[in-house]
Amino acid sequence: MDLSVVVPLYNEEESLNELFDWIQRVVREQNYSWEIVFIDDGSNDKSWKIIEELSQKSENVRGIKFRRNYGKSAALHSAFQQVNGNVVITMDADMQDSPDEIPELYRMIIEENWDIVSGWKKKRYDPLSKTLPSKFFNRTARIFTRIKLHDFNCGLKAYKNAVVKSIEVYGEMHRYIPVLAKQAGFKRITEKVVQHKKRKYGVTKFGIERFINGFLDLLSVTFITRFGKRPMHFFGVWGTIMFLTGGFATIWIIAQKIHLLFVDMPVREIVDQPLFYIALVATIIGVQMFLTGFIAELVSRTSPDRNDYLIEKKI
C-alpha cells in the first residue's frame, strides 16, 4: 500500500465528512493505494458514529475508538501499530491542516528519501496567545534536541513506515516524534512549509498547559535519548562536580583556620561561615546524585529492553 493517513480526533463531528471527502479527492487524483485511520480519542459527540458511516461507505476507512480520552500520543501510537502504507501522514481533524499537502509530502519521502518531513506553519491564523509561546517553545526545543525544525507542534507530518514501526509514542511525546526517531537511527529529518487554515469548526482542545507540559516532556525526552541506557554518565558527572566542590570548600575552610591559628589571629567558628554550609550542601547533593546514578543503572540493567537494538540490515 502506498499511503496511510492517520487522523487523531476528539469531538470533531462537524469536520469529519468534509475532511474525508477532501482527502479522498486528493489521493484519488494521485492514484495512490491508500487508507485512512481515524482514532476517536474518547469523544462524547457523534464522531464515532460518523466514522462508522464512513467505513461502510468506503473500504479505505478504518477506525479506532478509545473508551476515554487518553491524549494525542496514545492515539498516534495505536494507529502506528495498525498502518500498512509505505508512507504515513498524520494530520489533525480540525481542517487547519490541508490535505492538498499530501502529494508533495509523499514525494519528498519516496523520491528524496527523507525519513521524516515535518510541516512548518510559517504563516499561522492563531491568536498571539498561541503563536508567541509557540515560537519560544520551538526555539527552546531546537536548542535542546539539536534538530533544526521550526514547528515541532505541527500535526501535519510524513514518515516512512519503518519510522513509525520503530518508535513508541507515550505520555505527550507526540511533539517529539522527530527526537524519538533520531534516537532510533532515522536521521534524515527535514521540514516543509505548509498551509495553515483558520479553524472552521469547533474549538481548540489544547490550553496554555500544553506549553508547560511540553517543556517538561522536552526535558524528559532529552534526558532519555541521551542517557537512557547510561544514566550514570549524567548523574556521575554532576555528582562528581558537586562532591569535589564541597570537598575543596571544606579543605579551604580547614586550611584557613589552621593558618589563622598559626599566625595567632582571631578565628571564626566554622559553623559561623556561609562557606561551610555551601560545602555541606554540595557534598550531600554530590553523594545523592551518585546514589541516584547507581539506582538508575540497576534499573537500566534489569530493563527487558536493555539490549534491544534496531538492526537495519542482516546478511
Q: What is the pLDDT of residue 130?
A: 67
Predicted confidence (pLDDT) per residue in 144-190, tens digit: 788 888 888 888 999 999 999 998 887 778 888 998 898 888 999 99
pTM listed for this prediction: 0.73
Predicted confidence (pLDDT) per residue in 257-298, tens digit: 888 878 877 777 777 788 888 999 999 999 998 888 888 877
Q: What is the pLDDT of residue 126?
A: 65
Q: How far apart are CA 190 and CA 250, in angstroms?
A: 51
Q: What is the pLDDT of residue 202?
A: 62
Q: Is residue 226 scored above 90 in pLDDT?
A: no
Q: Which CATH number fits domain 3-227: 3.30.450.20, 3.40.190.10, 3.90.550.10, 3.40.50.10800?
A: 3.90.550.10
Confidence of residue 308 (pLDDT cuts 50, 70, 90): low
**Residue that has been written with the C-alpha cell 479553524 in this structure:** 199
Picking from 103, 85, 225, 104, the residue whose alpha carbon sits closest to that of residue 164 is 85
Give DSSP secondary structure letters for 221-263.
Answer: HHHHHHHTT-THHHHHHHHHHHHHHHHHHHHHHHHHHHHHHHT
How large is the average pLDDT for residues 92-117? 94
Confidence of residue 309 (pLDDT cuts 50, 70, 90): very low
Q: Is residue 123 scored above 50 in pLDDT?
A: yes
- Is there a contact between 100 and 32 (Cβ–Cβ < 8 Å)? no
Q: What is the pLDDT of residue 34?
A: 95
